[in-house]
């Protein structure tokens, strides 16, 4: 569902299966399926970042935070 969001938001995150998985999980939980929702839905951003911080590498956390700055 959210693989397109990962690609839209940034190629670095799209290349990380961990970040992509977190975006997919957050998207499913919040109903977000596009960049507009991902950028404006605080619940999506919180769930995605919490997931990345808990499950992914430090580099992935940095990439995810950089993605949020692009919104």
Alpha helices in 2-69 (DSSP H): 3-9, 11-15, 17-30, 35-40, 42-55, 58-69
- Report the alpha-carbon distance of residue 6 to residue 16 in Å, rounded: 9
56 SS3 class: coil
Residues 6+ apart with CB under 8 A from 46: none
Identify the pLDDT of residue 64: 84
Predicted confidence (pLDDT) per residue in 31-53, tens digit: 988 888 888 999 999 999 999 99
Q: Do residues 62 and 56 lie in contact, with contact meaning Cβ atoms separated by under 8 Å?
A: no
What value does the mean pLDDT of the chain take?
Answer: 82
């Amino acid at each position: 569902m959210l693989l397109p969001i990962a690609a839209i938001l940034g190629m670095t995150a799209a290349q990380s299966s961990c970040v992509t998985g977190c975006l997919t999980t957050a998207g499913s939980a919040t109903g977000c399926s596009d960049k507009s929702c991902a950028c404006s839905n605080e619940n999506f951003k919180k769930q995605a970042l919490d997931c990345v911080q808990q499950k992914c590498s430090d580099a992935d956390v940095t990439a995810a935070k950089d993605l949020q700055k692009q919104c």
